[in-house]
């Protein structure tokens, strides 16, 4: 559909709205005020829509940039990994490490996954969905702990120190740090020194 066809649709809606006659007993009452309110909203949206179409027509590069930005954001949002995917990945990676013998297992991968599994089992890991990406971060206390230090916001680490507690970042369906740690999990680094 081009610009003119959109304009015809809006004008057709306007003509249909003008043909509707308000009964005399309703005029000046609440129903007419509500109708006028929605008609004004319709007019505002029509003007905004037509202005947007005109801007797209006048500046196609700018419009394509905004549409691509919007599309990229939608893809990031749709492929944002969940907490369940993190749990599945932990289990899958632990099984992969268990299948590799101790002499050839990567110490880095083993230590990283052992740390993640212990913190996960003890309840120190938290999941935060940020919209376009997700964060897994570690805390000092278990979720169920009701001690003063665990509940008081003043006893918690300052927000400038938060980056130190980030354990993993999930984006586009992947968990970055776990994938990096498990890259060569079946190669012992000490064997090649």
| CA R_g for the chain | 29
Question: What local confidence, expressed as pLDDT, does residue 6 receive?
Answer: 58
pTM over 0.75: no
Note the pLDDT tens digit of each residue in 32-57: 777 778 888 888 888 888 888 888 88
User: Nearest CA to 181 among 113, 80, 91?
Assistant: 113
Kindly give the parts of the chain with pLDDT less than 70: 1-29, 148, 150-151, 158, 192-193
Percentage above 90 pLDDT, the chain: 1
Q: Helix (H, G, I), strand (E, B), or coil: what is residue 104?
A: coil
Per DSSP bridges, beta strands 134-138 and 166-171 are: antiparallel
Question: What local confidence, expressed as pLDDT, does residue 82 receive?
Answer: 87
User: Nearest CA to 141 among 152, 131, 132, 133?
Assistant: 152
Residues 6+ apart with CB under 8 A from 183: 109
Question: What local confidence, expressed as pLDDT, does residue 154 receive?
Answer: 74
Domain residue extents for the chain: 3-58, 83-192
Question: What local confidence, expressed as pLDDT, does residue 9 receive?
Answer: 62
Question: What local confidence, expressed as pLDDT, does residue 192 receive?
Answer: 64
């Amino acid at each position: 559909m081009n610009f003119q066809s959109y304009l015809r649709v809006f004008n057709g809606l306007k003509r249909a709205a003008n043909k509707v006659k308000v009964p005399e007993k309703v005029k000046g009452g609440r129903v007419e005020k509500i109708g006028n309110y929605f008609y004004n909203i319709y007019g505002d949206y029509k003007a905004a829509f037509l202005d947007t179409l005109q801007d797209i027509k006048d500046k196609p590069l700018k419009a394509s940039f905004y549409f691509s930005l919007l599309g990229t954001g939608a893809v990031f949002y749709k492929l944002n990994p969940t907490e369940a995917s993190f749990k599945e990945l932990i289990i899958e990676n632990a099984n992969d490490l268990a299948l590799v013998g101790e002499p050839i297992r990567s110490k880095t991968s083993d230590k990283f996954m052992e740390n993640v599994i212990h913190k996960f089992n003890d309840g120190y890991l938290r999941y935060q969905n940020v919209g376009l990406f997700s964060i897994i971060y570690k805390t000092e206390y278990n979720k169920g702990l009701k001690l003063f230090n665990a509940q008081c916001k003043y006893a918690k680490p300052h927000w400038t120190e938060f980056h130190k507690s980030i354990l993993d970042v999930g984006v586009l369906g992947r968990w970055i740090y776990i994938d990096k740690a498990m890259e060569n999990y079946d190669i012992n680094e000490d064997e090649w020194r």
